[in-house]
Amino acid sequence: MTDNEKQDRESGLTLNPKYDSNGLITAVVTDVSSGDVLMVAFMNAEALDLTLKTDVAHFYSRSRQALWKKGETSGNILDVVEVRIDCDQDALWVKAKPAGPTCHTGTTSCFYRKVKNGQLESIA
Amino acid sequence: MTDNEKQDRESGLTLNPKYDSNGLITAVVTDVSSGDVLMVAFMNAEALDLTLKTDVAHFYSRSRQALWKKGETSGNILDVVEVRIDCDQDALWVKAKPAGPTCHTGTTSCFYRKVKNGQLESIA
């Protein structure tokens, strides 16, 4: 990548996601009301396209190697309010309204434990 | 990974980060005051260890292939208030107090543009 390309990506207004070698980009989802980080997952170009077109979060499941509409089975979809992209366009920030618990374990957020003294502690 | 290992990782209280094939784990940093996502980067085991020991965010720079103390040059360090880990322990959420603008472009957050109608728009 030349310096010009780098600068265009950083300061330009063209959406030009930098997918990794597997065609994926990291997506961080926060709850637009609480600001809490709900989950971190990956999107491929198709998932991002569908997310932007439908305002419902879609991801790419690496384990299933398939497009994944979050909540398709559980009903706990993520209504997308805003999508941001970072300076070098290799990460997305999705602000969403969750229809229910985001984590497959049943918790509001996948981040239900904090690190304390080298161990984990459940968030009250 | 067996089902038991998966369950231990999800419900246990042992810190057992699932590093990728490059030895890295995704770290999302939010501002503990505003709740905004400031940046997304990677940590290796050494960076996570230093972050936990010093309460100052350290990362691993893929471009420079080196440990990276955020703010070492600029002074804009990230004081760590809390570190959380997600269900399958392959992502970290770092809540921090930033000493200054987090992005190397000079903005508070690396996420200074939102996607609108297939284009980017600067955040006011």
The helix (run of H) or strand (run of E) holding residue A53 is helix A45-54
Residues B110-124 pLDDT 10s: 999 999 999 999 997
Please compute Rg for chain B using Cα positions: 16
Residues A2-26 pLDDT 10s: 888 888 899 999 999 999 999 999 9
Give the pLDDT of residue B5: 83
Give the pLDDT of residue B2: 80
Give the pLDDT of residue A4: 86
ipTM of model: 0.95
Question: Mean pLDDT, to the nearest integer, of B53-74?
Answer: 96
Domain total for chain A? Answer: 1
Measured between CB atoms, which of A28, A114, A121 is closest to B37?
A: A28
| Beta strand residue intervals within B14-118, DSSP E | 25-31, 37-43, 58-61, 66-69, 78-85, 91-98, 113-116
Q: Which of A81, A83, A107 is nearest to A96 (CA)?
A: A81
pLDDT band, very low/low/confident/very high, at B52 (cuts 50, 70, 90): very high
Question: Mean pLDDT, to the nearest integer, of B30-43?
Answer: 98
- 8 Å CB contact of A14 and B86: no
pLDDT of B1 > 80? The answer is no
Residue of B nearest to A87 (CA): B110
Residues A38-87 pLDDT 10s: 999 999 999 999 999 999 999 999 999 999 999 999 999 999 999 999 99
Strand partners, A84: A93, B114
- How close B113 comes to chain A (CA, Å)? 6
Q: Tell whether B30 is within 8 A of chain A (Cβ).
A: yes
For testing contact with chain A, the best of B22, B113, B114, B117 (most A CBs within 10 A): B113
Percent of chain B with pLDDT over 90: 93
Name the pTM for this structure. 0.96
The per-residue pLDDT of chain A, averaged, comes to 96
The CATH number that applies at residue B71 is 3.10.20.810
Q: How many CB atoms lie within 10 A of CB A117?
A: 8
Domain span holding position B115: 3-122
pLDDT of A124 > 80? The answer is no
